[in-house]
Amino acid sequence: MEYTVVINGKPEGPYNFEQLKGMGLRPEMFVRKPGMDDYKEAHEIAELRELFGFKHQKTAPQYFASFDQRLLASVIDYFALLVIYVIVVLFIYVFVSEKMFRIGTALGLLLLIPVAKTVYSIIAEASEKQATLGKRLLNIKVTDNVGDRITIGLSIARNLSKILSTLPVFIGYLLCFTNKKQQCLHDSLVGTLVVKDRLI
């Protein structure tokens, strides 16, 4: 395994374990290895903690997803659900001959899309990835106030609280412009954050 290390503000390397030992790697130095989207402090990488005896220093998130990132993630999620909806409706139209049944089923399924989005968000945001498809594509995820993965109960509370954020005219979503952590109303109510990885 080879690592790139930020030294004096510039990425240098790649270095192997032996070279990292020789250069005096410190816990707070930024390191990146193949497969990582961005740099992390050395103490955040498990094998480096084990090799160098670093202590994992838990820090609260400092980088938060902007409103436009969150909106785009939601659009991507709804687009994916619409693709599934279209496939299901086409299947119904091919194999069901009753016209009124086809129309009724298509309209009923269309109304269920927001429900499906809510259920999907609850499960995905409480999962190991902590994000829906849209959030994963934009490299953002949902955490609690200290950056940890949220429980399924907290995920349910967060997603159901979005109803309050939409009333009366999505005013709860606009609250993200008024605080440093860019929390919408539902995030503030249940104590969650939408964070993004550190940028170098």
Phi, psi of 38 (to 5 degrees): -155, 175
β-partners of residue 15 are 3
Same domain, 39 and 117: no
Strand residue runs (E) in 38-95? 40-41
Tens of pLDDT, residue by residue over 2-14, are 899 998 889 998 9
Tens of pLDDT, residue by residue over 137-180, are 999 999 998 888 999 999 999 999 999 998 887 889 989 998 88
Same domain, 123 and 40: no
Same domain, 111 and 81: yes
Domain assignment of residue 57, yes or no = no
Instruction: Round to whole Å and give the CA distance between 151 and 157.
Output: 10
At 161 the pLDDT is: 94
Contact 115, 84 (CB under 8 A): no
Distance of CA 44 to the CA centre of its chain: 19
Domain count, the chain: 2
Percent of the chain with pLDDT over 70: 96
Domain assignment of residue 114, yes or no = yes
Domain assignment of residue 112, yes or no = yes
> Which residues form the domain of 170?
67-196
As separate numbers, helices (DSSP H) first and strands (DSSP E) second, the chain gives 9, 6
At 200 the pLDDT is: 46
Mean pLDDT of the region 81-109: 89
pTM of the entire predicted model: 0.70
Same domain, 110 and 169: yes
- For residue 21, name the pLDDT band (cuts at 50, 70, 90): confident
Spatial CA neighbour of 31 closest among 50, 52, 45: 45
Domain assignment of residue 59, yes or no = no
The CA-to-CA distance between both ends of the chain, in Å, stands at 21
Domain assignment of residue 62, yes or no = no
At 56 the pLDDT is: 66
Same domain, 25 and 71: no
Same domain, 103 and 163: yes
Does 1 score more than 90 pLDDT? no
At 85 the pLDDT is: 94
At 160 the pLDDT is: 95
Same domain, 105 and 181: yes
Domain assignment of residue 90, yes or no = yes
Tens of pLDDT, residue by residue over 96-107, are 888 888 888 889
Same domain, 71 and 144: yes
Same domain, 78 and 155: yes
Domain assignment of residue 148, yes or no = yes
Domain assignment of residue 85, yes or no = yes
Same domain, 95 and 178: yes
Same domain, 111 and 78: yes
Higher pLDDT, 62 or 143: 143
